[in-house]
């Protein structure tokens, strides 16, 4: 059986046709020594399959063109076969026992996974350990065999989790085919999918297509389970669910397709439909979710220290995301974000700040928000944060299709624009609508999923690291003469040039550092990120014993930036107007405010100033009396773009998480000592990250 790493390398080679060994190492995150080992393993596998090994000529991997089709066949076969031998077989056991069609004994489980009794008992022990987290028990007796006992809702959540984990390693149609052969039944996935889509069309609803797939398969397995145990819902939840526009569709779904009239089943399937719907202003009580959306945007703007230009557009698209996310979190619907690890690596600072910015949603639901959900919000805000200005219409037009939801679509579009500034992009997050667009409106297609098209289609991801960006541009440039090729950087040649002019003491370290600088390996996506001590120096810190109102406090806090030509007077006015219009959203932590405005409203260069007040200043709106809004630390942020200051804000937010740190800063009387303490706290929290 092929190693997972070998399959990844093979897939990359099929997509690129030819690739530099250094770039391949970066793409698969292996060092040179590990890369040679993985290639030797892959080559041995190819030889065992009577195929030619991969050759390396002048540092470039060369694939035998005549065997490309055989390679593709190998990948398909490896993806479809042998999941019984993988760690994920425990999830097969969950579905098998939950939807059992007959008495299930240990012998049945042995036959199911094709293993010995001892191996099956090891799997059973692992299974019992896993289901403890769901308050579900695995019971066995001679009369009933193996069965799950416990709260029906939690058993269903366990099944959802199992399906989602399986979907990460094997196509779900393979899973259903496996069970169809065992149970001698037909899941009729195609018919179910069509029936659900027809219902959605009837009720004028639209789903996020990649999430719909798991819903359909889960629905099919639940039709096999069909337990009559009631599903508990709190009265408050019943009231919320009955008010949603989706409720009539849930009634039809349960009655016409699930063939049940039970009220709790209607509510359960409504929670699942709500979690995959593409949010719309008519989906719920409009005012409630509109206010929640506005609150989150204000909070995130405060956390990232920059105001968005087109807030109306962000409110509309974020609303579409918040509605399903709200119900996923509220009703504990598990969804694995396939981009999670990449987002936490490529957008580390923005992820951290977004997490803090989502506090209004966490407070509203009285629940913590999972990293999977935070990642979706991160790419949503990042899509606007990193998007470029509108450009003039160019010769090449591209259709960017990302049916994974509005957030992924935004970040993908921004990423593609930065890679191909000479291309005009038409963005679409609905696969069905993309297929309906007239082909004379675009020349090429970038998509996260394959679909038949007459124009050249490039498969891509919503988030690309620097190496993947370079590889994609090279592929497109090879096909279209209208685009200029970007000269590829050969690290070995670069180091050779350095050696001609001096002695390199640690060549391996230099190679690693150059990788980090040129390709962002092990760093944030943005290379110009600054640390807090870099932006806030002693000359930008003031201490005042004067008594003042909040407007005067903002003016005084901004004065060092104005005097040292970081900002214009217009920036101070913009900050004050922003608070007058929206309220004291700039109070980032108890006793701490971080006023800011948009870069174009008067910022000349990046900087942060601080005013420490001996006497607290009231930042409360009229009629409010929140003691946490009596501020003694005012940090003024002057950002030149949406990115360079993020690391500094992460460091500041970590300092402000501890109220003891805030009190220590307030007690100090001299700017130098305040600066020294801030620098010390940054180092204690993990040090500076972009030196």
Range with lowest mean pLDDT among 340-349, 404-413, 494-503: 404-413
How many residues are listed for the chain in this entry? 691
Instruction: Name the more confident of 200 and 60.
Output: 200
Using alpha carbons, select from 262, 180, 268 the residue that is nearest to residue 219: 268
Residue 391 has pLDDT above 50, yes or no: no
Angle between helix axes 671-684 and 646-656 (nearest 10 degrees) is 90
The residue with tokens 């101070």 is 572
The residue with tokens 């107007």 is 577
Range with lowest mean pLDDT among 208-222, 285-299, 400-414, 462-476: 400-414
Q: pLDDT tens across 198-225, in order?
A: 999 999 888 877 788 899 999 999 999 9
HSE-CB for 104 with a 13 A CA cutoff? 22
Catalytic one among 352, 429, 596, 645?
596
Q: Which CATH number fits domain 532-684: 3.40.190.10, 3.40.930.10, 3.40.47.10, 1.20.120.160?
A: 3.40.930.10
Catalytic site includes residue 596: yes
Read out DSSP for 340-395?
HHHHHHHTHHHHHHHHHHTHHHHHHHTSPPPHHHHHHHHHHHHHHHSPPPP----S
The secondary structure of 641-660, three-state, reads CCCCCHHHHHHHHHHHCCHH
Angle between helix axes 209-225 and 263-274 (nearest 10 degrees) is 160
Domain boundaries, the chain: 4-81, 286-323+334-385, 388-524, 532-684
- β-strand partners of 141: 145
Return the top range by mean pLDDT from 291-295, 405-409, 535-539: 535-539
Q: 388-524: what CATH class?
A: alpha beta
User: What pLDDT, on a 0 to 100 scale, did the predictor assign at position 76?
Assistant: 58
Residue 77 has pLDDT above 70, yes or no: no
**How much is the mean pLDDT over the chain?**
82
Residue 489 has pLDDT above 70, yes or no: no
Q: 4-81: what CATH class?
A: mainly alpha
Q: What is the pTM of this model?
A: 0.64
Average pLDDT, integer, range 347-371 = 88
Q: pLDDT tens across 597-620, in order?
A: 888 889 999 899 999 999 999 998
Q: How many CB atoms lie within 10 A of CB 455?
A: 11
Q: pLDDT tens across 224-252, in order?
A: 997 778 888 889 889 889 888 889 999 99
Residue 176 has pLDDT above 70, yes or no: yes
Domains 4-81 and 388-524 share a fold: no
Q: Which CATH number fits domain 286-323+334-385: 3.10.150.10, 3.40.50.2000, 3.30.70.360, 1.10.1790.10?
A: 1.10.1790.10
Residue 450 has pLDDT above 70, yes or no: yes
d(CA 51, CA 53): 7
DSSP character for 100?
-
Residue 520 has pLDDT above 70, yes or no: no
């Amino acid at each position: 059986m092929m190693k997972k790493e070998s399959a990844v390398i093979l897939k990359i080679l099929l997509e690129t046709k030819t690739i530099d060994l250094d770039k391949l190492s970066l793409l698969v995150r292996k060092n040179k020594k590990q890369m040679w080992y993985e290639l030797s393993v892959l080559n041995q596998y190819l030889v065992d399959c009577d195929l030619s090994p991969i050759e390396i000529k002048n540092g470039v991997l060369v694939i035998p063109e005549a065997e490309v089709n055989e390679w593709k066949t190998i990948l398909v076969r490896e993806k479809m076969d042998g999941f019984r031998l993988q760690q994920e077989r425990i999830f097969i056991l969950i579905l098998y026992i939950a939807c059992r069609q007959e008495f299930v004994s240990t012998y049945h489980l042995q036959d199911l996974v094709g293993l010995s009794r001892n191996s099956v008992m090891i799997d059973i022990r692992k299974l019992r350990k896993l289901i403890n987290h769901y308050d579900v028990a695995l019971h066995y007796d001679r009369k009933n065999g193996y069965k799950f006992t416990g709260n029906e809702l939690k058993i269903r959540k366990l099944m959802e989790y199992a399906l989602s984990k399986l979907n990460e390693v094997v196509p779900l149609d393979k899973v259903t085919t496996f069970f169809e052969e065992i149970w001698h039944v037909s899941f009729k996935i195609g018919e179910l999918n069509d029936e659900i889509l027809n219902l959605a069309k009837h009720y004028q609803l639209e789903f996020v297509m990649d999430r719909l797939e798991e819903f359909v398969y889960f629905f099919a397995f639940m039709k096999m389970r069909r337990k009559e145990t009631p599903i508990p819902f709190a009265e408050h939840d019943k009231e919320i669910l009955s008010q949603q526009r989706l409720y009539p569709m849930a009634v039809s779904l349960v009655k016409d397709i699930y063939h049940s009239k039970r009220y709790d089943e209607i509510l359960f399937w409504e929670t699942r439909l709500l979690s995959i719907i593409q949010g719309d202003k008519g989906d719920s009580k409009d005012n409630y979710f509109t206010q929640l959306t506005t609150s989150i945007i204000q909070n995130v703007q405060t956390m990232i220290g920059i105001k968005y230009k087109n807030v109306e557009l962000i409110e509309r698209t974020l609303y579409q995301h918040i509605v399903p996310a709200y119900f996923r979190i509220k009703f504990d619907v598990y969804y694995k974000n396939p981009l999670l690890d990449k987002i936490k690596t490529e957008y580390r600072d923005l992820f951290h700040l977004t997490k803090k910015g989502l506090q209004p949603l966490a407070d509203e639901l009285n629940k913590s928000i999972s990293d999977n959900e935070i990642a979706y919000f991160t790419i949503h805000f990042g899509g606007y944060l990193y998007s470029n200005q509108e450009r003039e219409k160019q010769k090449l037009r591209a259709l960017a299709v990302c049916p994974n939801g509005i957030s992924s679509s935004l970040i993908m579009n921004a990423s593609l624009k930065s890679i191909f500034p000479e291309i005009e992009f038409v963005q679409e997050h609905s696969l069905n609508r993309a297929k309906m667009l007239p082909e004379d409106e675009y020349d090429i297609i970038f998509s996260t999923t394959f679909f038949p098209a007459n124009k050249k289609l490039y498969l891509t991801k919503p988030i690309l690291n620097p190496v993947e960006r370079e590889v994609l541009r090279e592929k497109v440039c090879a096909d279209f003469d209208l685009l200029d090729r970007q000269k590829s950087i050969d690290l070995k040649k670069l180091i050779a040039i350095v050696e001609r002019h001096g002695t390199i003491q640690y060549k391996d370290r230099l190679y690693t550092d150059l990788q980090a600088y040129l390709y962002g390996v092990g760093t944030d996506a943005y290379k110009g990120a600054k640390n807090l001590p870099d932006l806030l120096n002693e000359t930008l810190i003031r201490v005042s014993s004067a008594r003042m109102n909040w407007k005067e406090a903002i003016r005084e806090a901004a004065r060092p930036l104005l005097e040292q030509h970081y900002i214009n007077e217009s920036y101070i006015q913009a900050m004050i107007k922003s608070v007058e219009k929206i309220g004291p959203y700039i109070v980032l932590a108890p006793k701490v405010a971080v006023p800011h405005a948009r870069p174009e409203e008067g910022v000349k260069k990046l900087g942060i100033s601080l005013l420490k007040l001996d006497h607290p200043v009231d930042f409360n709106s009229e009629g409010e009396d929140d003691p946490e809004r009596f501020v003694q630390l005012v940090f003024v942020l002057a950002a030149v773009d949406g990115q360079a200051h993020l690391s500094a804000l992460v460091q500041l937010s970590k300092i402000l998480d501890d109220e003891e740190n805030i009190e220590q800063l307030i007690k100090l009387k001299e700017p130098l000592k305040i600066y020294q303490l801030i620098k010390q706290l940054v180092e204690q929290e993990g040090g500076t990250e972009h030196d």
